[in-house]
Structure 1
Amino acid sequence: MKPVSHLDSYRRHATADAPPIPELTDPWQARVARPDGYDLHLIHRWNQAPHVAAFWRQAWPLPRWEEQLRAHLDGDDVRPLLISWHGRPVIYAELYRAARDAVAGCYQARPHDLGLTLAVGELAMTDRGLVRSLLPRLTDALFEADPHCTRIVMQPDVRNMRAIKSFEAGGFMAADEIMLPGKLALLMVCKR
């Protein structure tokens, strides 16, 4: 009898659908960000904030953010999310299929691997333990939403020690330094 590999599950599912929208438990909620109105203006403002712009490098004009969000929502590769804590939006996140992103050139990405980028939008909400509290709940919800996903990756800028420490505290482990367009990043992984 041939031994069964944990990889057999994802091999049978060589392609993956759009990233799932996680169902979080209180006090957290996640929803798809809209490319207009309140969501657009909030995401634009957060990306102008120096603590976000320094590492995301997306302090774009409002029309470019509208275009970016619409492109994400029209495709199957990225889902822009607003994550709320006690009903208040505090984090902008992008959930993506790592195998269809530049990060796939830096490690052996599997079709169902998920990638995650996130930023706490308001400077006053940083250093409160929000990310380290959110990440275990978020990764559990993502693994539950996609049973074929075995890894979630993040790729913070190596200079962003605040984020790296929060991601480690939230269950991600450093794997390797990688070169991505525009930055030297730390590949971080959370396994099922």
Structure 2
Amino acid sequence: MPPADAPTGPGPGPASRARPDAEDTLDLRLTAELLALLAEEAPVYGYGPEDSGLLDRPAEWKPVTTRAGVFQLVPVRLERDLTVISRWMNDPAVAAFWELAGAETVTAGHLTPQLDGDGRSIPCLGVLSGVPMSYWEIYRADLDPLARHCPLRPHDTGIHLLIGEVEQRGHGIGTTLLRAVADLVLDNRPRCTRVVAEPDLRNTPSVSAFLSAGFRYSAEVELPEKRAALMVRDRTHRAQL
């Protein structure tokens, strides 16, 4: 199961300890060359896991305007993005939760199974105002090992993230982007009723960012790699949170 955390320092189940009354029991700036490459790749589909349909093709999701700038999820290409993602993974604040510090081969070993997989987890760069500044994994939580440890619903969609650039941390940008990505999921995945995440309970800034982004704390879950907070953003309540 991949890491699952958030803004200030990101992060990668046996049983869930959900509240008895919980409803869950029911169920670097882009170069001109890189910008040109993205533009060329944009209309080309059908050769990557993002095109399997399991996640309704994140490669086709449109950019969104946030208070922090125009934001877009761009599916990872190993040959293009490995170096920058590996650099982020070697940041001590990131490595403390993702545990992927080391040579580029370590990061490649994490990315490759997703890139070669069936599309149930799509690794993406988060590009803000033309700058790759974060790493995201959009995944089918109901098809993930997470489902062995807590009650999930069909088409529940999970989020893992890290804010890679230090200067982007601690200013509320993580909260802004979490809300934007959750909205992207709900807008582009009509069968998805909930967006979920499982940040490490020790990662207080991450849990706080999810709460500020409209997620609710649903349960404490014991996973093989960590004790996590199951965070949920419900489609039915998105307008109120």
Give the conservation status (yes or no) of the 8 Å contact 2:89–2:107.
Answer: no
Does residue 63 (structure 1) correspond to residue 63 (structure 2)? The answer is no
Q: Deviations over 1:70-91 (max 9, x none)?
A: 3212212210010111111111
Q: What are structure 2's unaligned runs of at least 5 residues?
A: 1-51, 236-241
Matches within 5 A, 1:1-192: 17-20=53-56, 21=58, 22-26=61-65, 27-37=70-80, 39-75=81-117, 76-192=119-235
SS of aligned partner of 1:181:
coil
Give the conservation status (yes or no) of the 8 Å contact 2:219–2:229.
Answer: yes
TM-score by length of 1: 0.86
Quote the Cα distance in structure 2 between the aligned partners of 1:55 and 1:172. Answer: 20
Q: CA deviation at 1:164?
A: 0.8
Quote the Cα distance in structure 2 between the aligned partners of 1:60 and 1:178. Answer: 28
Of all paired residues, the percent bearing the same amino acid is 35
Q: Which range moved further: 67-76 or 115-124? A: 67-76
SS of aligned partner of 1:46:
helix
- AA aligned to 2:138 is L
Quote the Cα distance in structure 2 between the aligned partners of 1:104 and 1:17. Answer: 20
Q: CA deviation at 1:60?
A: 4.2
Provide the aligned length of Structure 1 versus Structure 2.
176
Q: Deviations over 1:47-81 (max 9, x none)?
A: 11011111112224312322332321221221001
Q: Deviations over 1:124-167 (max 9, x none)?
A: 21101111111222112111211000011100000101111111
SS of aligned partner of 2:55:
coil
Q: CA deviation at 1:111?
A: 2.5
- AA aligned to 2:90 is Q
Give the conservation status (yes or no) of the 8 Å contact 1:28–1:83.
Answer: yes
SS of aligned partner of 2:64:
coil
Quote the Cα distance in structure 2 between the aligned partners of 1:168 and 1:29. Answer: 22
Give the conservation status (yes or no) of the 8 Å contact 2:100–2:106.
Answer: no
Q: What are structure 1's unaligned runs of at least 5 residues?
A: 1-15
- AA aligned to 1:174 is Y
- AA aligned to 1:190 is R
Work out which structure has the larger RCO, using CA pairs closer than 8 Å and 6 or more positions apart in sequence: 2
SS of aligned partner of 1:59:
coil
Quote the Cα distance in structure 2 between the aligned partners of 1:147 and 1:162. Answer: 30
Q: CA RMSD in A?
A: 1.6
Q: 1:67 to 1:56 in 2, by over 3 A?
A: closer
